[in-house]
Structure 1
Amino acid sequence: MTVSLPDLFLHFLTLSLLSIGGAISTVPEMHRFLVERTGWLSEAGFTSSIALAQAAPGPNVLFVAVLGFNVAGLPGAAAAMAGILLPSTVLTLAATRWMRANRGHAGLRAFSAGMAPLTLGLVFATGWLLALPFVRDDAHRWGALVLIAATVWLTLKTRLSLVWMVLGGGVLGAIGIV
């Protein structure tokens, strides 16, 4: 199957403009494009790419490079990263300068307050999409549900860093508990 680097770049370029809350909030659309529409990645390859990148140290957006790499090697990684970073970087610089100059405007404060629940919903949808293959699998269902519940509880009830939760989930998976 032939991978079109311009199509990969343009799709991630478009997603960058829609990624309210970061690139991770567009994972459902990345999945639709890379797995369902083009078939450039398998279901397992997609989920593994994101899990690997999220477990690694560094910026959260690195999962885009891993997806691009798994689709088309180094050129794919470069195309995906350039696509996801270019418009959001330019837009962020312009918006930040404009917002700084107009920070007292009531409409601007209302817009910022309204974006929080939208971002939370997009991140929840991404988490659900990544968990769904494990929840559907009989061998992993209960372990995945317990791990999800424990993570939600720890996040809401403690000040434990998410890094430790990711590390703990990785260890539990590595030793075969989950």
Structure 2
Amino acid sequence: MSTPTDASPRYTLAQMVLYMLRLGALGFGGPVALVGYMHRDLVEQRGWVSESDYREGLALAQMMPGPMAAQLGIYMGYVHYHIMGATLAGIAFVLPSFLMVVGLGRAYAHFGGLSWMQAAFYGVGAAVVGIIAMSAYKLTTKTVGQNKLLCAIYLTLAIVTVVTESEIAWLFIAGGLVNWFVVARPKWFNKGGLNAAAAAHLPVASGVLSGLDWPLLGQIGLFFTKAGAFVFGSGLAIVPFLYGGVVTEHHWLNDKQFVDAVAVAMITPGPVVITVGFIGYLVAGFAGACVAALGTFLPCYLFTVLPAPYFKKYGKLPAVKAFVDGITAAAVGAITGSVIVIARRSIVDWPTVLLALVTALLLWRFKKLQEPVIVSAAALTGLVAYPLIRSHAI
């Protein structure tokens, strides 16, 4: 049922898979940075994916529940190679960081904690703010531009995200509807025929792991499937949901272990939501990590590939294009707001302020500078500076 794009692909499926493997292995900065990398690499530099296809993918990732960066990566694979491309791109994107967090989980369990993590994250967290600020700036200028209505939608979502420190799913849909009604007002609206209004089709995922024989793995599977199926927005949006289930409800981890799990996700490349692999490992070993990751990512995969053919088939219609543009402006506004939310947690003193500013300036000045180099330098800076700052404070 899939509909090919107008242009033939300028790349092979193997090239896309290798790119996603590299992004999953070296892509630091969380969801905001990752979607920025995909735009820079796949749209601007390589020309593998068109601007319109990228916008459709970003809008779909924001409309559907699940981690945004992973869904966009899946959609990038779908654009020219459909189900096979989406499947392989999704696996390639998630696999490197999954293996890393499982390795760190094993070390954490064996040594009783990772004391260096807080020091490394002190530096990395500040550098990440600079990275995602530059990504948000590029996305804003590219997708919103000088359009006053899109700017209004963008600013509204940015402010709401900063104030509430969360991404409100229905506001993305509202942004799309507002732009649709203004830019490509449907005929039935002018006639007052409200009964002809179209309904949004949002499929609901079911717990795919409910039939497992092992009680603990079954609980893990059901909980993380629910997390992947019902949490909207970026990977960071899943953190409060995970805390409520992992710490408060099931008591699988204590507060310190959960904070360490989030820190592991932030200092490793790939999607932030890969913290579920670390959590699953601490709860039930390698099997727990696999079940947690599968439960989280399977819904987001289905929520991408099932509606994708309809996005490809009807995405060029004026009404659909206006709707997608509105959702995209809302999504980028939320991404920009999340930069401030993350900065509140990572920028804690003058050294971190300086590190974030230096990162942004380096990326502005040197366009080809690789983010992993910055992140590595920031981690080393944190390992050296954090103990000195703590001792001075004491």
Q: What one-letter code is carried by the residue in structure 2 that aligns with 1:66?
A: Y
Give the match for residue 149 of structure 2: 143
Q: Flag the structure with larger Rg.
A: 2
**In the TM superposition, what are the counterparts of 1:1-178 in structure 2 within 5 Å?**
1-60=9-68, 61-100=70-109, 101=111, 103=113, 105=115, 107-136=116-145, 138=146, 140=147, 142-158=148-164, 161-176=167-182
Task: After TM superposition, give the deviation of residue 160 of structure 1 in Å.
Answer: 6.0
**Does 1 or 2 have the higher relative contact order (CA < 8 Å, sep 6+)?**
2
Give the match for residue 391 of structure 2: none
In the alignment, the residues of structure 1 paired with residue 164 and residue 39 of structure 2 have an alpha-carbon distance, to the nearest angstrom, of 32
Q: 1:38–1:72: structure 2 CA closer, same or farther, 3 Å change rule?
A: farther
Query: Which ranges in structure 2 are unaligned for 5 or more consecutive residues?
Result: 1-8, 184-325, 327-394
Task: After TM superposition, give the deviation of residue 13 of structure 1 in Å.
Answer: 0.5
In the alignment, the residues of structure 2 paired with residue 24 and residue 71 of structure 1 have an alpha-carbon distance, to the nearest angstrom, of 24
Task: After TM superposition, give the deviation of residue 45 of structure 1 in Å.
Answer: 1.5
**Count of residue pairs brought into register by the alignment:** 174
Percent identical residues: 25
In the alignment, the residues of structure 2 paired with residue 121 and residue 173 of structure 1 have an alpha-carbon distance, to the nearest angstrom, of 31
SS of equivalent to 1:103 = coil
SS of equivalent to 1:176 = helix
Tell me the TM-score normalised to structure 2 length.
0.40
Q: CA RMSD in A?
A: 2.6
Deviations 1:120-142 (A, max 9, x none): 33333343333323433x5x2x2
Task: After TM superposition, give the deviation of residue 2 of structure 1 in Å.
Answer: 4.5
Tell me the TM-score normalised to structure 1 length.
0.80
Q: 1:3–1:153: structure 2 CA closer, same or farther, 3 Å change rule?
A: same
Query: Which ranges in structure 1 are unaligned for 5 or more consecutive residues?
Result: none
Q: Runs of at least 4 residues of structure 1 off by over 4 A? A: none
